[in-house]
Chain A
Amino acid sequence: MDLARSQVVTKARTGSAARLGLMVLPVAFFGVFFAYPVAAIVERGLHVDGAWEFGRILDVLGQSDIRHVLWFTVWQALASTALTLLIALPGAYVFARFDFPGKQVLRAVVTVPFVLPTVVVGTAFLAMLGNGGLLDELWGVRLDTTVWAILLAHVFFNYAVVVRTVGGLWSQLDPRQEEAARMLGASRFAAWRTVTLPALGPAVAAAALMVFLFTFTSFGVVQILGGPGFSTLEVEIYRQTAQIFDLSTAAVLTIVQFLAVGLILAVHAWTVRRRESALRLVDAAHTARRPRGAGQWALLGGVLASVALLIVLPLGVLVERSLDAPGGYGFAYYRALTSADGGTFLVPPIDAVGNSLEYALAATALALLIGGLAAAALTRRAGRLVRGFDALLMLPLGVSAVTVGFGFLITLDEPPLDLRASWILVPLAQALVGVSFVVRTMLPVLRAVDGRLREAAAVLGASPPRAWREVDLPLVRRALLVAAGFAFAVSLGEFGATVFIARPDNPTLPVAVARLLGRAGDLNYGQAMALSTVLMVVCAASLLVLERIRPARATTGEF
Chain B
Amino acid sequence: MSRKAYVAVAAGLGLVALSACGSSDDSGNAAADSRTVTLVSHDSWAVSKNVLKDFEKRSGYQVKVLKDGDAGEAVNKAVLSKGNPQGDVFFGVDNTLLSRALDNGIFTSYKAKGLDRVKSEYQLDAAKNRVTPIDTGSLCVNYDKKYFAEHDLTPPASFADLAEPAYKNLLVTENASTSSPGLGFLLGSVAKYGDDGWQGYWKKLKANGVKVVDGWDQAYNEEFSGSAGGKKAGGERPLVVSYASSPPAEAIYSDPQPKTSPVGVATGTCFRQIEFAGLLDGAKNTEGGQALLDFLISKEFQEDMPLNMFVDPVTQNATAPADYTKYAVKVDDPETMSPRTIADHRDDWVKSWTSLVLK
Contact = CB atoms under 8 A, between A and B. Distances in A.
A421 B86 contact: yes
A215 interface: no
Nearest to A133: B234
Interface string B280-313: 0000000000000000000000000001101000
Interface string A222-242: 011011110000000001011
B5 A424 contact: no
B46 A344 contact: yes
A346 B46 CA distance: 8
A223 B213 CA distance: 10
Interface residues of A, number: 71
Interface stretch (B67-75, B270-278, B317-325): B67-75
A376 to B, nearest CB: 16
B135 interface: no
Contact of A521 (B30, B175, B253): B253
A294 to B, nearest CB: 40
A241 B8 CA distance: 42
A244 B177 contact: yes
Given A239-B177, A243-B178, A523 B253 contact: yes
A388 interface: no
Contacts of B214: 223-224, 226-228
B190 interface: no
A342 B254 CA distance: 12
Nearest to A521: B253
B219 to A, nearest CB: 11
B80 A406 contact: yes
Interface string A508-532: 0000000101111111110000000
Interface string B9-49: 10011011001100110010011000000100001111111
A136 B250 CA distance: 26
Interface in A514-559: 515, 517-525, 549
B81 interface: yes
Contacts of A132: 233-236
Given A242-B73, A245-B100, A361-B12, A505 B65 contact: yes
Contacts of B99: none
Contacts of A518: 43-44, 70, 216-217
Interface string B212-246: 11101110111100011100111110000010001
Contact of A228 (B43, B212, B220, B235): B212
B255 interface: yes
A462 interface: no
Interface string B326-345: 00000000000000000000
Contact of A243 (B72, B77, B222): B72
Contact of A523 (B38, B212, B213, B255): B255
A362 B9 contact: no
A50 B46 CA distance: 41
Contacts of B232: 321, 324, 525
Contact of B27 (A224, A423, A525, A549): A423
B19 to A, nearest CB: 4
A477 interface: yes
A7 B15 CA distance: 45
Contact of B16 (A365, A410, A521, A524): A365
A332 B255 CA distance: 10
A129 to B, nearest CB: 11
Given A136-B234, A504-B66, A242 B80 contact: no
Nearest to A239: B178
Interface string A108-143: 000000000000000000110011110011000000
Interface in A334-390: 340, 342-344, 346, 358, 361-362, 364-365
A130 B230 CA distance: 11
Interface in A466-507: 474, 477-478, 480-481, 484, 499-500, 503-506
A521 B250 contact: yes
Nearest to B31: A421
A133 B252 CA distance: 27
11 contacts: A133-B233, A227-B213, A243-B76, A343-B48, A421-B30, A422-B24, A424-B24, A478-B5, A521-B228, A525-B228, A525-B229
Given A421-B86, A478-B5, 8 more contacts: A132-B233, A228-B177, A343-B307, A346-B49, A409-B77, A409-B81, A421-B31, A504-B66
The 4 closest A-B pairs by CB, nearest first: A132-B234, A521-B253, A522-B228, A504-B67
